[in-house]
Structure 1
Amino acid sequence: MQGTSTLFARLFGMSMVAIVVAHVVAYFWFQKYGMGPPHSPTLDESGRLIAHPPPNTPPMAFLVIQFISIIAVAWWGARLLSRPIRQFSEAAERLSENLDSEPLEETGPRESRQAAHIFNRMQQRIRQQVRQRSQMLGAVSHDLRTPLSRMKLRIEQVDDLKLQSQMRQDLDDMISMLDATLSYLHEQRTCEAVQLYDVQALVESLCENAQDHGDDISTRGHCRPLLVQPIALRSCLSNLIDNALRYGGATLVDLRDSASQVTIRIIDHGPGIEASLRETVFEAFYRVEGSRNRNSGGVGLGMTLARDAVMRLGGSITLEETPGGGLTAVVSFKRV
């Protein structure tokens, strides 16, 4: 039913309705009055009236061929008229996934060329603004490291050990936030090609690395290779697994594969997050009071990085309550 809501389907349907109604009216007209104007009476040499044959009606074969021809022309015309809208829709979808996507071709009628030109200018301005913002924040974050590093050396001269420890902790937090900001900006600038990738091998590798560091984590389920951006997917799953281990302790990564989509669940049994705050945690530098504090080591960018990576892959990420207590991050990707 979704195909009937497209502009092409509506143009084609309206054209066909108009054509069919016109042909039905014309057919009955010809049946009654013939194919031409009425003949004038004609007399022979003796003055007798010459009878004319009855009005001709178009043969059925002619009507069928004409009807098929009109269907073909209406289909081609509707597709031609709806093509610019379809191109704009595809270009907008590409732009939402990648700011560096190919610009829209400026071809077709004048209106289409003008709209495509404006769309391409908009894309250039968005790309320029994002690049300038990233460069500015990156430069500020990078330049702040130098005075912070000098301050970290100078606090060693503070005699009060308690004050020295507090100041060192504050500086470490600031440096961690700067590092996370630079990583976040790098993730946003990264443009990676989509390729068929072994998601199950990636999950098992991340879990094995965590186990080598003494973390309690396991996997279950299977998953066939999926078309993804490998670096973006690794960044997403790595941040989600790190968050689960940091705040929830023992973690389970569950893989579910079907013909239509792949679902990855990162399950922990920690303190969890209130339902009203589950959407807020995806905001940059946001930390839930109580469960996320400076002692946990997080700066509030892990979930933001994870969502950005999932969105670049065309997937979705949600947070649910784990049965029995805890938090479950659900990452879903559609199979193309």
Structure 2
Amino acid sequence: MKPSTKILPATPQPLTIPTVQSGKYNNLAWLDQGLIVQADVATASSGHRFFWLTDNLEIGDPVAIPDATDADVTFHYYPQRLPNGKLGLRYSTDMFELNGPLKDTNQYVQFDPMTEQLTTLLPASLPRDVMMHSAVVWSPTLDRALITDRQYLGSQYYWWTAAAGLQPLDLGVAVAQYFAWSPDGATIAFFGKPSVGSGSVPGALTKPANLYLMDADGGNRRMILADAYGVAGLQWSPNGRWLVIVARFNGSRDIVWLVDSQTGDRLQLTPEGRYQWPVWSPDGSELAVIWYDPADTGVDGNDYVIRLAVPPLAR
């Protein structure tokens, strides 16, 4: 049975296209030291790099993550703020050999921007088909992770601990691609699609997703919001009450919403547009989000990072 939820009274925040230089952006993380964006840059051998954003939300200095010394190319993917305040990311390498097969590795690491130290959290010895496209969320104590292979037609999900390694997890849905672990460690939120249709990726992308909560052991799964389309982000507020999402409902374009985790009621933050990767500021007073090509030019690279004030109701 679908839950009964409502849209809370709110006035979407008026947005104007920033006057700063645009870029081609994907993924955000908000650390105590500032905002980090994954940006496509022609000068990077991997095609993209992580950068600090300046006060006016333009590309600043590159994040000083060291590349592997024994690889031809090192890739940094999916920056996220870890529960300990450091930067988590998927760290992959490629090694090319003349007349030989490509050799690659995939692991998950922690980067401390204060000491510039890189620490392995998930080793490269984990199965390639799991880690190559993995999305990872961590318990607040960083001793347990939930991993998905990010497939569109039939996802696989796993628990991971150092002692037990990978353990399969059945979520009761065909596909789930966004996960978020609550700050108190008690609850995991995720978007899942009960069905993906006939088996084509374009068809699967048109299917609605539901927002679920489950206890940290995977039990007590319950739906709190139904029929979201084009989901493009999910993250808990620092106070553990609200979830920020990007989704479409009832034929709209993308909207940044706050969802009450206790009721499933939602509050609209932005006008309709194209948004992705919303993240909370460490103190919970603001959100940042990527605003894709707000002038609808149809040209890649006209993206901006914007900041949104969190309404008093959700602080």
Give the TM-score normalised by the residue count of structure 1. Answer: 0.22
Instruction: Determine which structure has greater relative contact order: mean sequence separation of CA pairs < 8 Å that are 6+ residues apart, divided by chain length.
Output: 2
Give the TM-score normalised by the residue count of structure 2. Answer: 0.23
* More strand as a share of residues: 2
